Every structure is written in C-alpha cells, then in structure tokens.
Amino acid sequence: MIQIDYRSPKAIYEQVRDELKKLIMKGILKEGEKIPSVREIAGNLSINPNTIQRAYHELESEGFIYSVKGRGNFVSPRKEAEQTERIDELLKTFSSCATELLYLGVAEETLIKRIKKGGEKV
C-alpha cells in the first residue's frame, strides 16, 4: 500500500503523506473510508508513530482526511470552495514549472505526455 524509499532525500513523513494523498486522489481510498491507524502503518513500515502522526496532521490540514476522536482517521469529502482555491494555487505552480521547463529546453510534447500519464515518468 505505502512504499518508503529510505535513500530518498525526501523526509519519511512527506513520503507517507504523498503516498496516502495519491491513494485518495486515485480513488483507492474513498470518501468516508477509514484509513489505517497510526500504529498500524508505523508497525507495517517499522517507522516511529510520531512520523506517521505528522503525515496525518499535514493531510488533515490540507483537507484530505479528518479525525474522529476514539474512532480514527477518515478520507474527507471534497469541498468545492476549498477545491477551487487549491486548484487555483496548483495551476499557478503548474504554470510556473511549465514555463521554466520549456525555458530549460524540455519539449512541449514531453510535458503533454507527462500530463496525460497523470504525472508519472514518460
């Protein structure tokens, strides 16, 4: 379910956050679905529970999950107002990155292929 690259320069909590975010965005984890507990993921990955808790905290602050005291963490429903704001923010980032990539000589076709593949390497 979640894979960690211990040689990656990216912090482990960021990798956990990004992996869970991908599962939510791809619909593998569905709205309202309970996600594995902090202890469960920490045990499966042999990671300190505080690291997983930090990833969950960031996911909650970004609106991807919500917690229910005593019951666990669940995938949040999508809220249109928050989505619109996040979409605008991401499109600005995308425009900036695309402009820089084109300036650095990356072919437009490469960018289009990357978009069509959902961001995965071409």
18-62 pLDDT tens trace: 999 989 988 899 999 999 999 999 999 999 999 999 999 999 998
pTM above threshold 0.75: no
The number of residues making up the chain comes to 122
pLDDT recorded at residue 120: 65
CB atoms within 10 A of CB 55: 25
Residue extents of the structural domains in the chain: 12-75, 80-116
With a cut of 80, say whether residue 64 has pLDDT above it.
Answer: yes
CB atoms within 10 A of CB 57: 14
Euclidean distance between CA atoms 21 and 86, whole angstroms: 14
Burial of 59 (0-12, 13-18, 19+ CB in 10 A): buried
As a CATH number, domain 12-75 is: 1.10.10.10
Q: Which residues pair with 9 in a beta bridge?
A: none
